[in-house]
């Protein structure tokens, strides 16, 4: 399916193929050449976490192969089984090819080694994107494409405990929060059009989890108008409205709802007004129910879990210099879909 990065970028001098990245190839007729709505060069990526080794995980990988993105973000909780790193990596490469950028960040099941070891996953599914900064699998960022980038992906691990028994600190004043903030600011300074943050755990949830990533990190991302934050952990699909902090909402506290912190309740958002959070813990391992009466429900636009028509699948995103088009694509067995747009 995928060829090597260098082979597919031999034609990179042609403007229509500035995004020679992954499975979509360098065909000027591909989405990565023309972009959403014919808006020039684009980047196409998928994202999901909470995957496993079962039939449903295989179906989701088949859907990724069908969508032909440039890369996929696997936002943690990979195999759910100790000693299964090789089997998981073999499943992924059999479906997507050896050279496909299946990019990893740790989840709680492999950060501490209990259900696999993130360092072993990172060795058998190594980074395929040039220019990556940081520690792959734990805390890193990369600009895509490397030349004239359209998006900076920032992948972090708040709320996770690693094998040394230390939980990475993203609290106020911490070095890791400062690193993340600098990565966001650096994208702005470099005039990269889009910023996407990925992490396993979440803050806002209509399910069983609290704000494990911390309010300081969450509010920093919103205050910086990060365009999109993608998480897993809650085995369901959830999308917030575009959230903001400002004059009438100085800080968003977990476990409560303040309507002044909602910038836009529609499906088309203006860039710079806030942040959209999407949970796609739908990679193939046991869906959770979703609580429509949760205290944070007012922050959410849509949701689907085990108790209301949810299905395994992926977030599918295409962006160019002018807009980001995102949709939820089920692998099979459900009519649930979702879509939204962010425009510059």
Q: Would you say 42 and 32 are in contact if contact means Cβ atoms under 8 Å apart?
A: yes
239-277: string of b/e by CB count within 10 Å (b at 16+)? bbbbbbbeeebeebebeebeeebbbbeeeebebeebbbb
67 vs 201: CA distance, rounded Å: 26
Q: Determine if the peptide bond prior to 329 is cis (ω within 30°).
A: no
Cα 16 to Cα 20, 34, 76, 270, distances in angstroms: 10, 7, 33, 26
The pLDDT tens digits for 298-334 are: 999 999 999 998 999 999 999 999 999 999 999 987 7
Alpha helices, DSSP H only, in the chain? 5-8, 31-34, 55-67, 85-96, 108-111, 118-124, 175-189, 215-223
Per-domain boundaries in the chain: 43-343
Between 14-23, 189-198, 212-221, 236-245, the lowest mean confidence (pLDDT) is in 14-23
More confident residue, 139 or 18: 139
Which of the 8 DSSP states describes residue 279? E
Strands, DSSP E only, in the chain? 43-48, 71-75, 102-105, 133-135, 139-144, 151-156, 194-199, 228-231, 237-240, 242-243, 262-264, 268-270, 276-280, 300-304, 313-319, 323-330, 338-343
Report the C-alpha gap between 91 and 97 in whole angstroms.
Answer: 10
- Write the CATH number of the domain with boundaries 43-343: 3.60.21.10
Helix (H, G, I), strand (E, B) or coil at 276: strand
The Cα–Cα gap between 88 and 155 comes to: 21
Give the model confidence (pLDDT) of 83-126 as tens digits.
999 999 999 999 999 999 999 999 999 999 999 999 999 999 99
The reply to whether the predicted model has a pTM over 0.75 is yes
């Amino acid at each position: 399916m995928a060829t090597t990065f260098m082979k597919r970028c031999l034609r990179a001098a042609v403007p229509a193929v500035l995004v020679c990245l992954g499975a979509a190839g360098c065909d000027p007729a591909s989405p990565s050449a023309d972009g959403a709505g014919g808006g020039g060069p684009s980047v196409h990526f998928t994202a999901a976490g909470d995957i496993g080794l079962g039939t449903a995980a295989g179906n989701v990988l088949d859907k990724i192969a069908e969508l032909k993105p440039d890369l996929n973000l696997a936002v943690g909780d990979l195999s759910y089984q100790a000693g299964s790193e090789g089997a998981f990596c073999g499943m992924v490469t059999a479906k997507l090819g050896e050279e496909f950028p299946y990019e990893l960040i740790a989840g709680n099941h492999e950060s501490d080694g209990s259900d696999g070891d993130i360092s072993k996953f990172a060795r058998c599914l190594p980074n395929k994107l040039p220019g990556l900064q940081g520690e792959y699998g734990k805390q890193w960022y990369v600009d895509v494409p490397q030349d004239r980038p359209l998006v900076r992906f920032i992948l972090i691990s708040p709320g996770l405990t690693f094998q040394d028994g230390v939980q990475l600190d993203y609290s106020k004043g911490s070095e890791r929060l400062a690193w993340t903030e600098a990565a966001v600011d650096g994208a702005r300074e470099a005039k990269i059009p889009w910023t996407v943050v990925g992490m396993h755990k979440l803050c806002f949830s209509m399910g069983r989890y609290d704000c494990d990533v911390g309010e300081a990190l969450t509010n920093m991302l919103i205050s910086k108008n990060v365009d999109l934050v993608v998480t897993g952990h809650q085995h369901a699909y959830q999308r917030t409205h575009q959230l903001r902090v400002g004059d009438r909402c100085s800080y968003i506290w977990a476990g409560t709802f303040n309507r002044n912190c909602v910038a836009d309740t529609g499906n088309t958002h203006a860039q710079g007004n806030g942040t959209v959070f999407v949970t796609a813990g739908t990679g193939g391992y046991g869906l959770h129910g979703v609580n429509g009466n949760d205290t944070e429900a007012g922050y959410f636009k849509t949701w689907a879990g085990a108790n209301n028509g949810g299905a395994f699948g992926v977030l599918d995103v295409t962006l160019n210099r002018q807009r980001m088009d995102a949709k939820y694509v089920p692998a099979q067995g459900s009519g649930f879909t979702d879509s939204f747009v962010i425009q510059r």
